[in-house]
């Protein structure tokens, strides 16, 4: 089996489904406060932007700014923020 066939086979391997719905995580969104310290709504013309921030008072380290431009995924970088704070 060549590399291409191996990759294709790995991508098509079925993942077993759980029988018990209580074993699966819910699809409810996690609260923004689990990942960030503040949430600010900024209005520009007819659009409102949610800005999530952490560590604004800490000026000793580098500044990280992440931008996500698609609809309902404003908390995409929540886990990144949480892990950077731990470091």
Q: Mean pLDDT throughout 3-13?
A: 64
pTM of the model: 0.58
Split at pLDDT 50, 70, 90, the class of 41 is very high
Q: Mean pLDDT throughout 37-65?
A: 85
* pLDDT at residue 68 is higher than 80: no
Task: Point out which residues pair with 40 in neighbouring strands.
Answer: 51
Split at pLDDT 50, 70, 90, the class of 43 is very high
Q: SS3 of 11, please?
A: helix
Task: Specify the DSSP class assigned to residue 24.
Answer: S
Split at pLDDT 50, 70, 90, the class of 50 is confident
Residues 6+ apart with CB under 8 A from 82: 34, 35
């Amino acid at each position: 089996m060549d590399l291409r066939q191996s990759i294709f086979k790995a991508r098509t391997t079925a993942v077993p489904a759980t029988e018990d719905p209580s074993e699966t995580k819910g699809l409810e969104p996690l609260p923004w406060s689990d990942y960030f310290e503040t949430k600010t709504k900024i209005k520009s013309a007819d659009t409102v932007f949610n800005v999530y921030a952490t560590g604004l008072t800490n000026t000793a380290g580098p500044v990280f700014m992440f931008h996500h431009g698609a609809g309902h995924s404003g908390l995409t970088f929540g886990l990144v923020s949480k892990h950077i704070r731990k470091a």
